[in-house]
Amino acid sequence: MSPRRTETGGRIDRLRTIRFTFDGAPYTGHIGDTLASALLANGVTLFGRSFKYHRPRGLLSAGVEEPNALVTVLSGEVREPNIPATMVEIYDGLVAVSQNRNPSLAWDIGAVNQLGGKILSAGFYYKTFMGPVFGPLKGTRFWMFCEHFIRRAAGLGKAGTAPDPARYERMNAFCDVLVVGSGPAGLMAAKAAADQGARVILAELEAHFGGSANWSGETIDGMLAADWAQRTVGQLEGNDNVRLLPRTTVWGYYDGNTLAALERVTDHKEVAAKGEPRQRYWAIRAGTVVLATGSFERPLVFPGNDRPGVMLAHAAERYAVEYGVLPGQRIALFTNNDSAYRSAVALKKAGAAVVAIIDVRGDVSTEMRRLASEAEAELLAGHAVVATEGGKALTGLKIQRFDAMSGALSGDERSIHADSLLMSGGWSPTIHLASQAGAKAEWDPARQAFLPPTPTQRWIGAGAFTGSFSTAEAIAEGRAAGLQAAGGAASSAPVPVVEAAPGDPDPAPVFEIKAKGKSFVDFQHDVTADDVRLAHREGFVSVEHLKRYTTLGMATDQGKNSNVPGLAIMAEALGKPIPEVGTTRFRPPYTAVSIGSLAAERFGDLKPERLTPMHDWHIANGARMYSAGLWYRPMIYGLPGETVEQAYVREARATRGSAGIVDVSTLGKIAVQGPDAAEFLDRVYTNTFSTLAVGKARYGLMLREDGLAFDDGTTWRLGEQEFLMTTTTANAGKVMQHLEYFLDVIWPELRVTVTSVTDEWAGAAIGGPNARAILASCVTGTAVDNATLPFMGIAHGQIAGVPVMICRLSFSGEMAFEVYSGAGYGTRVWEALIEAGKPFGLVTYGLEALGTMRIEKGHVTGAEIDGRTTARDLHLDWMLSKKKPFIGSAMMDREGLIAPDRLELVGLIALDNRPLSGGGHIVEQLDEANPHHSLGHITACCYSPALGKYIALALVKGGKARHGTRAFVSDPLRNRFGPIEIVSNHFYDPDGSRMHG
Amino acid sequence: MLITCPYCGPRDVIEFTYQGDGNRERPQPASQDLDAWNAYVYDRLNPAGDHNEIWQHSGGCRAHLRVVRNTITHEILSTAFARGGHKAEGRS
Amino acid sequence: MAEYSAFSLLKNALAGNKDWKPAWRKPDPKASYDVIVIGGGGHGLSTAYYLAKEHGITNVAVLEKGWLGSGNVGRNTTAVRSNYLLPQNTRFYEHSMKLWENLSHDLNYNVMFSQRGCLNLAHTPAQLDDYARRGNAMRHLGVDAKLMNVDQIKRLVPALDVSASARFPVLGGLMQPRAGTARHDAVAWGYARGADRRGVDIIENCEVTGFLRDGGRITGVSTTRGEIRAKKVALAVAGSTGHVMQLAGISHMPIESHVLQAFVSESLKPVIDTVLTFGMGHFYISQSDKGGLVYGGDLDGYNSYAQRGSLPIVDEVMSEMLALFPGLARVRMLRSWGGLCDMTMDGSPIITTGPLPGMYLNCGWCYGGFKATPASGWCFAYNIAKDEPHEFNAPFTLDRFYRGLIIDDKGQGANPRLH
Amino acid sequence: MAEQPLPERQSPLEPDYHPGSHGNFEHGVDVILSETRPGSILQLGAWPGEEKRLIEVIRKVTGLALPDGAGGGASSGARAVFGFAPGKFTVVDEAEGLAATFAGVITPAIGTLTDLSHGRTAIRIAGPKAEWVMAKFFAIDFALPAFPLGAGRSTNHHDIFAQIQRSGADQFDIYVFRSFARSFWKALCHASEEVGYEVQ
């Protein structure tokens, strides 16, 4: 048995030994132990090093608020840093290491910072490191030089770089009543609500339900509180309406009574079951929330209060009662309130010697005196601890007479030999979630604590959360809250009877003992009482300034230990009551929450993949895929040994030479249907669609309300009241929302429905001089000649036994057809077209060749319709109807949109016959060393097999007026400079004779 | 934040797309009053308090809603279909 | 007041740190000033500082309704950069960058501006071209920018997943080496101290409740601490612009107030040594000197004055973070907060005379407010002092929207949540 | 001309559709996943004020009577119908050709008909843990009282839009865009591993 383990007691299983390592050394513990309790049982006193001074630190607490004992848990290559040892349940094979020390926890060179002492006071960074004004370290250089070392010295644990193999999941849950916290109040609330038939979720952040019932030693309903808790949990377990969530921290209270919780599903297990997530992120929508979150015990601020061996009183009680571990053999307690007396008795019962109870109050009640003598402790009323002794473990302490009213110390120091000092500075209700929910906490001068605000969302408080620190109150409030939350009537049935030690819930208003030496307020960040006073001296007096200037409350415990003492010290310095210093509003999360859990199922899978019907065919046939938004599209179908440029040039050349086929299924497609469909399109497009004949298509342009170009595409009239609109791939969703907005909000009188049919249709565009011949050889049910299928005509037929819709339109500039079939037939039709094209040397082509041919034609896409260009900029003003208003028509002629210096679409030819790059800029005068005076930029470029040149589209100031002039490409980022000629964007077949056939 | 869609019931804000100030009035399509157009496109009421807004239930029934919401507390005071009609079909 | 230096630190330490003086005075408001600046945030304080320093106007009050720096200057992800696409923005932010580079000296206050670079990751060839366009635009205005390839990026940020099998593989990135981060609060405190040392009155807990007028002209303000008159009244109230303009009788503005959330992880040993942005979503991250990862994403997307965020954005930001850094799944988010952004209709700010006589307006900072702090105050001070804009802020007028002279870096149109 | 029977359609799930038991199935299979591959999936829309007439048309053609109220629905063995938006309904039939049947009866005065038989993929999840797995994706309440038998819901999981009909006490039919179907299917299988699943 370990040196500090008691023979009996606690919920650990002494028969089952667990082996783990800490900093490489092997240790054993028992089932039911936390890493903290197991190490404590092994006599470990040194758990961590503080942030700034690297001071040795031991355990302060037994729960989530632990600021000192932070460890990194290793699992193979994967690291989980900054976990409080108090929250790690041990399992066989657990590997934990300490942090922020070099080379070891016992010998840490960072501790030299302690010599800096008063120089490293609050705010010292702001006052130095500015460096020289002249010379090689001017500007920011000196600071950055210093910062390099500061950064390496700072920081707690080390993050891993190996991808985390664990699974994280999200769960959306709905309930009538969410109970947060499972102490006596929470258990009663859950039970009462469940008995009313409500859907209840009970969340407990620790591994075991019961909260303080697990260690209070009190009696409820005639049985030990811990047994009562277990019985109640058993009753809840049997109820179908109840979901019990142990190891689940409710960390966020969001709008709409939506709460976020983190369940640690497998962190305590050696191995997870197949498919089991490591952590589950619960997004809970609750009808009503019962907040039964309890309270935190506060440390006292006095010199040496950070020495390993100084611990919160109730934490020691928990270690003794729940884990069967004594924090020391000779224990002293230091308190400003009654609760520590119960702790003393509990520790005495567990087998420790309680040498003294030092109480700042001169006047201690008879009941407490009785408890002190029950603990066989010397009661030193009207005294205070003024120093602690020892190195990496406590050896003793010094006390003096103390006057609680004035804070004055008097008399001689007296030494007390002790290896454990327990402190209690009063209790702060855990009001974080209520504060997150949107309201301000209120200071209660009797309790010396912030109490929960008036609810701004649907929650009800119960127990210590409300400042009702006795178990009897907790049980009564819990039941009332549960009933109210479930909509039940108040019950007159008797509540369970509680037998508990007496105690006054109100502490003496003493937070700090002012004596010589460093007194810590924020343990992890090494913020001392003097730092708080320095902040006051320098004018950083509001609570937010205090936090930000000293970093008080910014450590991983988020001020759970330091918030109130820090405020109290500032209030005293200001001579104002605490609430006038301000209250911190708490924000999510209540405790730190893993990023993996928040990414949940999207960890490793950020976005779904959107696939066309022919996707598998493309992959099987050597396509290199290109990610376009969520879609995957073939970029090239490369042959072995081909470069990308060689591949697209081959594909484009073959298309213009004979025929090529490309998958265009990703184009946005919207069914526009109804009696007013044509009228609607007239309003939406800049050009007219009501005049379009059934069976014909037309190219259309849309503007935004502000008059800038929005999107373009062809729209096909399939029937009198039925249109098929196509959009660019990228804008499909935006166009859909645009149309829906106008139909729903602006013109509700129009009888039109719009439906996304993008996924209904597979689309293949086949173009080139032989495209028609290929079609003719495989299409049945319709002719494809000029008469049946003129330019922009639509025909219906079959390919490979399935219906197809064919529209003769061209993006490539060749005689071309878009063949649409039901998506489930997409591959079948595609393969039939490929088969039919074999005699003609039909090639498949990808986005690169598609882009090349469109650049040759001077068509615009998203690179040119980039949200900043007008129809005129793009030479599409011929599409702006003057006969009717349309969206954007009133706004498109404003001063700034017709200014002469706007960027206009042009073509470019590289005169040095070298490749151009998208994003290169255009200048009149080349200055490679100091590029300046950009005229515009390249939006798209390629090698044009049709022209035998490197060409580009560009947006250039003065645009058209520069046709035929020379300029330079200036691309300093890629060191590409050279002469170009500015030409029309219509490089190839400008009169369109090839596509008109 | 939860928004109660008159058709779908209360849904998480993630299902909705904000379409801004619902007090704006679009001029008649043929209007040549550029100031009115500019005001419609660019000017917003931006109150700290109750705000009349348009939201689309884009991740649900796709209807546009008129929502009165408090911009300080995020409390939703009312929701209704922007287009009118269909109200009788709604979930209460 | 004494200069700050290593020497003063030592001297004071020897005296037990008892002799430090307040960083700025806490004066009561006078009856009148030459200039009142409403808003004790970064921009208001820097405006006062430059009014005093550059224009000799020291009879100035800065009115702050709460505690100094309680707005966005202390609620941002601290990035400083000038890597914009459009020249109006690039010129302005580059001026800011130059002020940043000497700010600690100028203020005798270490604002910890660390030029660790800002890298925008590109995930498709088209995006790489977009970034090249932007970087080249910067270079043509004399601003530093370079493209980085995947190997260089991997060396700079070893924790980044640059594998080709990633859902959105990293193809390269645009780096501005002079960009970086600063200590946000220090900027507010440094400007406050600097302005105070030049005689400016900084008045906290003084909320403006109305405007005093003489005919159409603004002649002062009524406040919770009484009426204060001024020849010129300048507004720099960021997210509260809509609210304060309503007090002046102007109900409509080309502005929506939105919430932007930001997050800090627990403190870690150094893992990211630059400012990094994700190209296939909306995510940016850096690491503070204390070791916390500081990161954020998109706006919540609706009007709000609540400084409280919604859950879906939290999930989105974390998901995007892990798409870049799958090794950080077990790192824990420690704090979150919401800042109010006054989003304009084109994503660019407003620094202008007017719109009422006697009034000057500085607002519409969208996401860009922190990095703009020095230049915003500098230009605004110029504009207030000379009653005409400096060339750097001349494009940022209020009437540019009506005139179609929009400065839309993202090309999203009049849709504030998308800028 | 005699109608040739149409060839079988290609499923978007094919390469990732693996019949058999998967995941943690040794402890029992708690959900069954399948693609139901209906022949017809239609979207019907009524103009404001015409919903009753459309509902009557639906009843005549399918034999399914829609209950009152938003999101109400009904199903028989081969056919299903549910409301998913104001005045809008999804109608599903095992057989192909339902569009042609409706084409004659939904007049322009009533509303519109849009054929989405190829554009939507129908996935069925059934079993005691169906609600549990669904709750991993969608933020709607799947409990029976909140989501009654036959009812329909429109919702989304990030980029994936879904219409969901409860087709049994512990069975849901999910209609997703075809282009997203494979990604969704893979995610659904992944999420089902925990409870053990079988693909039929």
**Average pLDDT of chain A, as a whole number:** 95
Report chain B residues whose CB lies below 8 A from the CB of D48: 83-86
Report chain D residues whose CB lies below 8 A from the CB of A613: 10, 12, 178
Measure the CA–CA gap between A982 and A964, rounded to whole angstroms.
Answer: 6
Does A169 contact D at CB distance below 8 Å? yes
Report chain D residues whose CB lies below 8 A from the CB of A758: 119, 177, 179
Does A370 contact D at CB distance below 8 Å? no
**Could you give the angle at the alpha carbon of D89 between the alpha carbons of D87 and D92, nearest 5°?**
170
* Six token digits for residue A512: 């700090």
- Cα dist. A983→A871, A904, D157 in Å? 19, 12, 48
Considering only CB atoms, C312 lies closest to which of B12, B42, B72, namely B12
How many domains in chain D?
2
**Average pLDDT of chain C, as a whole number:** 95
With cut-offs at 50, 70 and 90, classify the pLDDT of residue A2: low
Please say whether the beta carbons of A51 and A110 come within 8 A.
no
Does A629 contact C at CB distance below 8 Å? no
Residues D86 and D178 in one domain: no
For residue C417, the chain B residue with the least C-alpha distance is B18
For residue B2, the chain D residue with the least C-alpha distance is D139
For residue B36, the chain C residue with the least C-alpha distance is C402
Does A95 contact C at CB distance below 8 Å? no
DSSP SS3 for A865: coil
DSSP SS3 for C91: helix
Segment A925-937 mean pLDDT: 97
Residue C1's pLDDT is 56
Which chains does C contact via 3+ CB–CB distances below 8 A? A, B
User: How close, in Å, is residue D141 to chain B by CA atoms?
Assistant: 10
pTM of the model: 0.96
Measure the CA–CA gap between A849 and A855, rounded to whole angstroms.
Answer: 10
Residue A135's pLDDT is 82
Quick check: bond before C355 cis, omega within 30? yes
> Which CATH fold topology does A760-841 show?
Gyrase A; domain 2 (3.30.1360)
Segment A718-746 mean pLDDT: 97
Considering only CB atoms, A757 lies closest to which of D116, D160, D184, namely D116
Measure the CA–CA gap between A685 and A905, rounded to whole angstroms.
Answer: 21
With cut-offs at 50, 70 and 90, classify the pLDDT of residue C307: confident
Report chain B residues whose CB lies below 8 A from the CB of D55: none
Residue C53 DSSP code: H
Residue showing tokens 């209709």: C345
In three state form, how does the secondary structure of A174-226 look?
Answer: EEEEEEECCCHHHHHHHHHHHHCCCCEEEECCCCCCCHHHHCCCCEECCEEHH
Segment A362-372 mean pLDDT: 97
Residue A784's pLDDT is 96
Which residue range(s) make up the domain with B61? 2-25+41-85
Segment A921-931 mean pLDDT: 97
DSSP SS3 for A365: coil
Domain membership flag for residue B47: yes
DSSP SS3 for A980: strand
Please say whether the beta carbons of A321 and A215 come within 8 A.
yes
Q: What is the rounded end-to-end Cα distance, in angstroms, of chain D?
A: 38
Tell me which residue of A711, A701, A694, A693 sits closest to A881, measured CA to CA. A701
Put simply, the answer to whether A760 touches D4 (Cβ < 8 Å) is no
Which residue range(s) make up the domain with D112? 39-116
Segment A840-856 mean pLDDT: 97
With cut-offs at 50, 70 and 90, classify the pLDDT of residue D3: low
Put simply, the answer to whether C108 touches A544 (Cβ < 8 Å) is no
User: How close, in Å, is residue A997 to chain C by CA atoms?
Assistant: 33
User: How close, in Å, is residue A454 to chain B by CA atoms?
Assistant: 14
Does D34 contact B at CB distance below 8 Å? no
User: How close, in Å, is residue C330 to chain A by CA atoms?
Assistant: 5
For residue C266, the chain A residue with the least C-alpha distance is A556
Per DSSP, which regions of C3-125 are E strands?
Answer: 32-38, 60-63, 79-80, 118-122
pLDDT tens digits, one per residue of A489-518: 888 888 899 999 999 999 999 999 999 999
Do you know the residue count of chain B?
92
Residue B86's pLDDT is 40
Measure the CA–CA gap between A811 and A767, rounded to whole angstroms.
Answer: 9
| C418 dihedral zone (left: phi>0; alpha: psi -120 to 50; beta) | alpha
User: How close, in Å, is residue D118 to chain A by CA atoms?
Assistant: 5
Residues D33 and D73 in one domain: no
pLDDT tens digits, one per residue of A585-605: 899 999 999 999 999 999 999
> Which CATH fold topology does C115-179+256-344 show?
D-Amino Acid Oxidase; Chain A, domain 2 (3.30.9)
**Could you give the angle at the alpha carbon of C324 between the alpha carbons of C319 and C325, nearest 5°?**
90
Residue B88's pLDDT is 36
Considering only CB atoms, D154 lies closest to which of B14, B60, B90, namely B60
Tell me which residue of A565, A561, A558 sits closest to A586, measured CA to CA. A558
Measure the CA–CA gap between A987 and A748, rounded to whole angstroms.
Answer: 44
Considering only CB atoms, B8 lies closest to which of D87, D88, D154, namely D154
Q: What is the CATH number of the domain that holds B49?
A: 3.30.2270.10
- Cα dist. A143→A149, C144, C418 in Å? 10, 21, 36
pLDDT at D1 over 60: no
pLDDT tens digits, one per residue of C333-369: 999 999 999 999 999 999 999 899 999 999 999 988 9
Do you know the residue count of chain D?
200
In chain C, CATH 3.50.50.60 sits at 30-81+85-94+101-106+184-254+346-418
With cut-offs at 50, 70 and 90, classify the pLDDT of residue A114: confident
Put simply, the answer to whether C306 touches B1 (Cβ < 8 Å) is no
**Could you give the angle at the alpha carbon of B16 between the alpha carbons of B64 and A736, nearest 5°?**
60
Does C161 contact A at CB distance below 8 Å? yes
Do you know the residue count of chain C?
419
Mutation test of the interface with chain B: which of D140, D154, D176, choosing the one with the most B Cβ atoms within 10 A? D154
Measure the CA–CA gap between D74 and A963, rounded to whole angstroms.
Answer: 66
Domain boundaries, chain A: 1-162, 166-296+427-505, 299-425, 510-583, 668-756, 760-841
Label residues A536-559 b or e (16+ Cβ within 10 Å = b): bbbbbbbbbbbbbbbbbbbbbbbb
Residue showing tokens 């819930």: A505
Please say whether the beta carbons of A40 and A92 come within 8 A.
no
Report chain B residues whose CB lies below 8 A from the CB of A255: 1-2, 13, 74
pLDDT at B91 over 50: no
pLDDT tens digits, one per residue of A318-334: 999 999 999 999 999 99
Residue A19's pLDDT is 98
Phi, psi of A749 (to 5 degrees): -75, -15
Put simply, the answer to whether A257 touches B38 (Cβ < 8 Å) is no
Instruction: Classify residue A734 as exposed, middle or buried by CB count within 10 Å of its CB (0-12, 13-18, 19+).
Output: middle
Domain membership flag for residue D153: no
Put simply, the answer to whether C303 touches B51 (Cβ < 8 Å) is yes
Which chains does A contact via 3+ CB–CB distances below 8 A? B, C, D
Residue showing tokens 């109210």: A484
Segment D82-103 mean pLDDT: 96
Measure the CA–CA gap between A357 and A293, rounded to whole angstroms.
Answer: 29
Tell me which residue of A130, A441, B78 sits closest to C7, measured CA to CA. A130
* Six token digits for residue C31: 């009856």
Mutation test of the interface with chain A: which of C100, C111, C127, C133, choosing the one with the most A Cβ atoms within 10 A? C133
In three state form, how does the secondary structure of chain D look?
Answer: CCCCCCCCCCCCCHHHCCCEEECCHHHCCCEEEEECCCCEEEEEEECCCCHHHHHHHHHHHHCCCCCCCCCCEEECCCEEEEEEECCEEEEEECCCCHHHHHHCCCCCCCEEEEECCCCEEEEEEECCCHHHHHHCCCCCCCCCCCCCCCCEEEEEECCEEEEEEEEECCEEEEEEEHHHHHHHHHHHHHHHHHHCEEEC
Residue B87's pLDDT is 40
pLDDT at C402 over 90: yes
Q: What is the number of CB-based contacts under 8 A between chain A and chain D?
A: 136
Measure the CA–CA gap between A497 and D117, rounded to whole angstroms.
Answer: 66
Put simply, the answer to whether B37 touches A890 (Cβ < 8 Å) is yes
Q: Kindly give, in sequence order, each residue whose CB lies less than 8 Å from that of residue A785, ignoring residues fewer than 6 positions away.
A: A772, A776
Least confident of A244-248, A479-483, A779-783, C415-419: C415-419
Is the CATH code 3.40.50.300 the one for domain A668-756?
Answer: no
* Six token digits for residue D92: 């599903």
Q: What is the CATH number of the domain that holds D61?
A: 3.30.70.1520
Considering only CB atoms, B72 lies closest to which of C255, C306, C415, namely C306
With cut-offs at 50, 70 and 90, classify the pLDDT of residue A1: very low
Tell me, rounded to whole angstroms, the distance of Cα C174 from its chain centroid: 22
**CATH architecture group of domain A166-296+427-505:** 3-Layer(bba) Sandwich (3.50)
For residue C71, the chain A residue with the least C-alpha distance is A544
Does A741 contact D at CB distance below 8 Å? no
Put simply, the answer to whether C253 touches B43 (Cβ < 8 Å) is yes
Put simply, the answer to whether A78 touches C328 (Cβ < 8 Å) is no
Pinpoint the alpha helices (H) of A10-108. Answer: 35-41
- The highest-level CATH class for domain A299-425 is alpha beta
Q: Kindly give, in sequence order, each residue whose CB lies less than 8 Å from that of residue A98, ignoring residues fewer than 6 positions away.
A: A22, A23, A47, A48, A49, A71, A72, A105
Q: Kindly give, in sequence order, each residue whose CB lies less than 8 Å from that of residue A118, ignoring residues fewer than 6 positions away.
A: C12, C13, C14, C16, C17
Please say whether the beta carbons of A211 and A204 come within 8 A.
yes
Segment C371-397 mean pLDDT: 98
Report chain B residues whose CB lies below 8 A from the CB of A741: 19, 56, 64
pLDDT tens digits, one per residue of C251-288: 999 999 999 999 999 999 999 999 999 999 999 999 99
Does D145 contact B at CB distance below 8 Å? no
> Which CATH fold topology does A510-583 show?
Arc Repressor Mutant, subunit A (1.10.10)
Segment B61-70 mean pLDDT: 97
How many domains in chain B?
1
Q: Which of residues 221-260 of C touch A (CB under 8 A)?
A: none
Q: Kindly give, in sequence order, each residue whose CB lies less than 8 Å from that of residue D194, ignoring residues fewer than 6 positions away.
A: A169, A273, A274, A275, A276, A277, D23, D24
User: How close, in Å, is residue B82 to chain D by CA atoms?
Assistant: 12
pLDDT tens digits, one per residue of C97-148: 999 999 999 999 999 999 999 999 999 999 999 999 999 999 999 999 999 9
Put simply, the answer to whether A895 touches C405 (Cβ < 8 Å) is yes
Report chain D residues whose CB lies below 8 A from the CB of A283: 139
Domain membership flag for residue B30: no
Residues D127 and D29 in one domain: yes
Is the CATH code 3.50.50.60 the one for domain C30-81+85-94+101-106+184-254+346-418?
Answer: yes
Report chain A residues whose CB lies below 8 A from the CB of B37: 890-891
Measure the CA–CA gap between C293 and D142, rounded to whole angstroms.
Answer: 38
Report chain C residues whose CB lies below 8 A from the CB of A894: 402-404
| A197 dihedral zone (left: phi>0; alpha: psi -120 to 50; beta) | left
Least confident of A419-423, A543-547, A665-669, A698-702: A543-547
User: How close, in Å, is residue C292 to chain A by CA atoms?
Assistant: 7
CATH topology identical between A166-296+427-505 and A299-425:
yes
**Average pLDDT of chain B, as a whole number:** 91
* Cross-strand partners of A632: A627
Domain membership flag for residue D97: yes
Quick check: bond before A608 cis, omega within 30? no
Interface ipTM: 0.96
Q: Which of residues 150-179 of D touch B (CB under 8 A)?
A: 153-156, 161
Segment A63-91 mean pLDDT: 96
Residues D33 and D132 in one domain: yes
Do you know the residue count of chain A?
997
Does C110 contact B at CB distance below 8 Å? no
Measure the CA–CA gap between C117 and A553, rounded to whole angstroms.
Answer: 30
For residue C165, the chain A residue with the least C-alpha distance is A604
Report chain D residues whose CB lies below 8 A from the CB of A828: 7, 10
Q: Kindly give, in sequence order, each residue whose CB lies less than 8 Å from that of residue C104, ignoring residues fewer than 6 positions away.
A: A129, A130, A131, A140, A143, C110, C111, C112, C113, C190
For chain B, what percentages of helix, strand and coil (3-state, to nearest 5) are there? 15, 40, 45
pLDDT at A996 over 90: no
**CATH architecture group of domain A1-162:** Roll (3.10)
Residue B89's pLDDT is 41
* Cross-strand partners of C33: C230
Mutation test of the interface with chain A: which of D9, D179, D186, choosing the one with the most A Cβ atoms within 10 A? D179
